[in-house]
Amino acid sequence: MQLTQIKPSQEQIAQLMAYPKDTPVVMVNILKFKTKTENGNETGQEAYTRYYKNTQAFIGKAKAKLIWKGAVATTAIGDFDDQPDMIFLVEYPSTNHFLGVITSPEYQKIANDRTIALEYGGLIACQTIE
């Protein structure tokens, strides 16, 4: 596993900071869970469920909203053998709202649950187009 497939690199954060200011951003989360976490006491999905529950207060504080969340049923086109397990979309009022969440000391206390849960944790910043 490459760490940049779970956590952003400095370059990726810099690119996100270049996103148009005061423009809503939809973060597309593409997740593949580990079968078992490193300690082997729980599945990646169990660890992520705990992480997700603990992030809800941060999401609300950032005035973000869950747009859609779903389990991947099958891959119609693409790599069926390496398909993700879950995809969801969260809209933030701006990238500053998102960055405020992930850089807060309170968030950092729970962020490890995401890291231990995921084999892949893609996060794609999307700008709505008309």
pLDDT digits (tens, 9 = 90+) for 59-116: 999 999 999 999 999 999 988 888 999 999 999 999 999 999 999 999 999 999 999 9
Sheet with 118-126, side-by-side order of all strands: 65-71, 86-92, 25-33, 118-126
How much is the average pLDDT of 19-48? 95
Domains of the chain with bracketed CATH: 3-126 (3.30.70.100)
Range of weakest confidence among 50-54, 80-84, 101-105, 122-126: 80-84
Whole-structure pTM value: 0.90
pLDDT of residue 113: 96
pLDDT tier, 7 (very low <50, low <70, confident <90, very high otherwise): confident
Q: What is the mean pLDDT of the chain?
A: 93
CA 34/CA 37 separation, integer angstroms: 6
User: 3-state class of 9 per DSSP?
Assistant: coil
Which residue, 110, 120, 98, is CA-closest to 30? 120
CA 89/CA 58 separation, integer angstroms: 15
